[in-house]
């Protein structure tokens, strides 16, 4: 019934959508979110109210769309948690039966609102949140809430179902009253002469709840009490003109993704994203989260997600109506200057000896080892810095990285690159020689990310728009290069490259050069070490059997494309045998083999 109510109101809700961004999609987002909830309920119907709500909330979490849809999903989650807690309490109560009365519904609504306020970084009154908060009846109201004939509630012997209906109708009435008030609570709504679209959608949902509990639907379950006619969508002011382009007027992209991460990691992510943008809503729990934010730097928002855990189902929407109307530059912001040789001299005078041909629109600088990988990346249009041939001053780089595909401190028992890698000055100079006004840096080792970050800061000081893709391995860099699109907008390119890198797991097979402790136990000199995502996962006697085990372990989590990069020490025919294993044992998984000719890292493996 809630889905039907939202579908009926969809066009109207889209038409009055002016906050936080006037992009005319609130009704659509609420419908899509509720459709995901209903789909999950059909797939996994529950025998109890708690089970049904759990299915709906999980479906909404996975399918939440937009700011309003994400808040709706959290409201459903809060209600599901309260009903689940009641179900557990009943199970431990001798002779107890589940009683779905008004008190339980009221607690569920209160818990839902509390969770929604916690999920939103900067709650704003006059929105869906304030309508939800106003809908919760006070605890004492349950004892005196009128049913149909004015009789008292459960304390006077009213059946639980009738009491729940009374609370639902009371919540609906309170929400409708609060909805009318939103017109005067936000300047954008006042100027447009409309109520909050998300709040009106919530009123429709609460009306459907009351109708579902009633034998005869109410005639006023949907929108507003009698009020002046709403202005049509074509008359609505631009949100940016009202100073509310995403609450602070700085939003440009809507970034949403699901995230597999711990509670602790998500707390840190909330803090970082709150500084990066606005309209931040993070919902979920138990290792699965839905992240929503409006920001000018979509790439950074995705990168933060990668640092916190494993983002997936990434969605980036350009908020064309957020006061920018598709203009590539932000109002009041000067164009990004081109970095001419004079700017290069100011940043790294001793390093920029010659310029690399005609100026490029956007430079991609990647760090690799091996002649084959250098040729491959150069053919893809990247500027290559060799981490095994670098000639740098010690002060440029103090913390040497690991092997060809790893990062951080050198791994016990594994070969270490002949040189620690390019330094900040060398990396900065490599970009400046291209004379590109924009640059994307691919460190390809965790130990080089700080170097890349410092180089990006120097480049920005020189007028170059720079971003670092947080690649921890060469195969992640290759995945990022594969989706690089020089003709696209800078932020869009960075987002696509970051997402591709983040979706690529990386492995490596190396040969230990000495006896040492590893995370998988003690290895001896000559043992084959299998690494997955930077950690030693297994120790074997033979390179081939170890490579097979690493590949199988990486594909156990699924995958669509396997990348194999053979080095100078890779046994003859190994990559062909591994490719055949993938072809025969894993349906719909493709394999690509590159001759990297790297000295370190006997075999590099990527799984996208």
pLDDT tens figures, 28-78: 889 999 999 999 988 877 678 888 999 999 999 998 988 899 999 999 999
- For 2-228, CATH gives 1.25.40.340
Q: Average pLDDT, whole number, for the chain?
A: 78
Task: Name the E strands within 438-560.
Answer: 438-442, 465-468, 505-511, 516-518, 521-523, 528-532, 535-540
Measured between alpha carbons, how far is residue 277 from residues 122, 147, 154 in Å? Answer: 11, 46, 47
pLDDT at 217: 53
- Map residue 463 onto helix, strand or coil: coil
pLDDT at residue 324 above 50?
A: no
Domain limits of the chain? 2-228, 245-326, 341-501, 505-607
Task: Tell me how far apart the alpha carbons of residues 477 and 588 are, in angstroms, rounded to a whole number.
Answer: 23
Measured between alpha carbons, how far is residue 99 from residues 77, 143, 215 in Å? Answer: 20, 16, 19
Percent of the chain scored above 70 by pLDDT? 75
Q: How far is CA 26 from the centre of its chain?
A: 20
pLDDT at 239: 34
Task: Count the residues in the chain.
Answer: 608
DSSP label at 446?
Answer: G
563: its two tokens? 């990348």
DSSP label at 592?
Answer: E
pLDDT at 247: 41
Let me know: does 20 contact 244? Beta carbons within 8 Å. yes
Measured between alpha carbons, how far is residue 68 from residues 195, 386, 391, 575 in Å? Answer: 14, 48, 54, 49
Q: In what order do the strands lie in the sheet with 528-532?
A: 535-540, 528-532, 505-511, 603-607, 561-566, 590-595
What DSSP string describes 264-281?
HHHHHHHHHHHHHEEEEE
Residue 254 confidence class, pLDDT cut points 50, 70, 90: confident
* Burial of 545 (C-beta count, 10 Å sphere; 0-12/13-18/19+): middle
Task: Tell me how far apart the alpha carbons of residues 59 and 77 are, in angstroms, rounded to a whole number.
Answer: 10
Task: Name the E strands within 491-585.
Answer: 505-511, 516-518, 521-523, 528-532, 535-540, 561-566
The CATH architecture that domain 505-607 belongs to is 2-Layer Sandwich (3.30)
| 547-560: pLDDT as tens digits | 999 999 999 988 99
128: its two tokens? 């869906």
pLDDT at residue 147 above 70?
A: no
- Map residue 377 onto helix, strand or coil: helix
Task: Tell me how far apart the alpha carbons of residues 299 and 314 are, in angstroms, rounded to a whole number.
Answer: 11
pLDDT at 529: 94
pLDDT at 270: 93
Radius of gyration of the chain (CA): 29
| 443-457: pLDDT as tens digits | 999 888 888 989 998
Task: Tell me how far apart the alpha carbons of residues 527 and 517 are, in angstroms, rounded to a whole number.
Answer: 12
- Establish whether the linkage from the previous residue to 358 is cis, with ω within 30° of 0: no
pLDDT at residue 405 above 80?
A: no
Greatest mean pLDDT range, 20-29, 156-165, 325-334: 20-29
CATH top-level class of 341-501:
alpha beta
Task: Name the E strands within 286-335.
Answer: 288-295, 310-318
Number of neighbouring beta carbons within 10 Å of residue 156: 10
Number of neighbouring beta carbons within 10 Å of residue 6: 26
278: its two tokens? 């606005």
Residue 138 confidence class, pLDDT cut points 50, 70, 90: confident
40: its two tokens? 């999950």
Expressed in percent and rounded to 5, the helix, strand and coil fractions of the chain are: 45, 15, 40
Pick the range with the lowest mean pLDDT from 260-264, 330-334, 524-528. 330-334
Q: Which of 495, 23, 19 is nearest to 279 (CA)?
A: 19
Number of neighbouring beta carbons within 10 Å of residue 533: 13
CATH top-level class of 245-326:
alpha beta
Provide φ and ψ at 530, rounded to 5°: -105, 120
pLDDT at 298: 82
Task: Tell me how far apart the alpha carbons of residues 365 and 20 are, in angstroms, rounded to a whole number.
Answer: 37
Pick the range with the lowest mean pLDDT from 155-169, 264-278, 424-438, 571-585. 155-169
- Map residue 587 onto helix, strand or coil: coil
pLDDT at 599: 87
Residue 388 confidence class, pLDDT cut points 50, 70, 90: confident
User: How many Cα atoms occupy the beta-carbon half-sphere of 245 within 13 Å?
Assistant: 21
pLDDT at 399: 30
Task: Tell me how far apart the alpha carbons of residues 351 and 430 are, in angstroms, rounded to a whole number.
Answer: 8
Region 536-543 average pLDDT: 93
Measured between alpha carbons, how far is residue 65 from residues 31, 240, 282, 290, 307 in Å? Answer: 9, 22, 12, 10, 23
Domains 245-326 and 505-607 share a fold: no
pLDDT at 95: 53
Region 557-576 average pLDDT: 93
Q: For the whole prediction, is pTM greater than 0.85?
A: no
């Amino acid at each position: 019934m809630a889905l039907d109510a939202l579908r009926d109101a969809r066009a109207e809700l889209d038409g009055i959508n002016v906050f936080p961004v006037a992009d005319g999609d609130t009704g659509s987002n609420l419908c899509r979110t509720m459709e995901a909830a209903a789909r999950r309920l059909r797939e996994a119907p529950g025998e109890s109210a708690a089970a049904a709500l759990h299915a709906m909330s999980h479906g909404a979490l996975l399918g939440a769309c937009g700011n309003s849809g994400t808040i709706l999903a959290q409201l459903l989650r809060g209600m599901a948690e309260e009903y689940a807690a009641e179900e557990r309490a009943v199970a431990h109560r001798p002779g107890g039966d589940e009683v779905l009365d008004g008190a339980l519904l009221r607690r569920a609504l209160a818990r839902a609102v509390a969770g929604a306020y916690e999920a939103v970084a900067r709650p704003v009154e006059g929105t869906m949140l304030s309508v939800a908060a106003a809908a919760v009846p006070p605890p004492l109201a349950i004892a005196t809430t009128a049913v149909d004939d004015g009789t008292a509630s459960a304390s006077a012997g009213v059946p639980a179902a009738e009491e729940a209906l009374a609370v639902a109708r009371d919540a609906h009435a309170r929400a409708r009253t609060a909805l009318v008030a939103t017109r005067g609570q936000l300047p954008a709504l006042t100027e447009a002469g409309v109520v909050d679209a998300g709040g009106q959608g919530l009123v429709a949902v609460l009306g459907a709840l009351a109708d579902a509990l009633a034998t005869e639907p109410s005639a006023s379950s949907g929108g507003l009490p009698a009020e002046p006619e709403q202005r049509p969508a074509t008359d609505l002011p631009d949100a940016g003109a009202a100073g509310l382009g995403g609450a602070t007027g700085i939003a440009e992209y809507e970034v949403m993704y699901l995230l597999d991460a711990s509670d602790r990691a998500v707390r840190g992510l909330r803090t970082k994203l709150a500084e990066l943008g606005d309209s931040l809503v993070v919902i979920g729990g138990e290792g699965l989260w839905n992240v929503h934010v409006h920001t000018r730097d979509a790439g950074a928002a995705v990168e933060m997600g990668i640092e916190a855990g494993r983002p997936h189902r990434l969605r980036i929407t350009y908020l064309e109506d957020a006061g920018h109307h598709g203009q590539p530059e932000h109002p009041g912001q000067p164009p990004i200057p081109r970095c001419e040789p004079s700017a290069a001299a100011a940043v790294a005078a001793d390093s920029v000896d010659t310029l690399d041909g005609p100026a490029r629109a956007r430079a991609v600088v990647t760090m690799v080892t091996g002649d084959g990988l250098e040729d491959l990346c150069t053919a893809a249009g990247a500027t290559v810095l060799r981490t095994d041939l670098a000639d740098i001053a010690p002060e440029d780089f103090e913390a040497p990285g690991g092997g060809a595909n790893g990062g951080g401190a050198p791994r016990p028992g594994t070969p270490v690159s002949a040189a620690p890698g390019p330094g900040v000055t060398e990396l900065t100079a490599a970009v400046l020689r291209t004379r590109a006004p924009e640059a994307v840096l691919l460190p390809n080792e965790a130990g080089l990310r700080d170097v890349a970050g410092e180089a990006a800061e120097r480049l920005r000081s020189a007028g170059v728009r720079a971003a670092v893709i947080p690649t921890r391995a060469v195969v992640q860099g290759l995945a990022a290069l594969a989706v690089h699109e020089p003709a696209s907008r800078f932020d869009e390119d960075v987002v696509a490259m970051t997402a591709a890198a983040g979706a690529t797991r990386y492995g490596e097979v190396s040969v230990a050069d000495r006896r040492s402790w590893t995370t998988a136990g003690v290895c001896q000199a000559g043992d084959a070490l299998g690494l997955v995502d930077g950690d030693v996962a297994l120790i074997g006697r033979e390179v081939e059997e170890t490579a097979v085990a690493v590949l199988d372990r990486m594909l156990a989590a699924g995958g669509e494309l396997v990348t194999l990069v053979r080095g100078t020490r890779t046994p003859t025919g190994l990559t062909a045998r591994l490719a055949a294993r993938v072809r025969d044992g894993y349906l719909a998984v493709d394999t690509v083999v590159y001759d990297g000719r790297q000295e370190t890292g006997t075999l590099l493996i990527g799984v996208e």
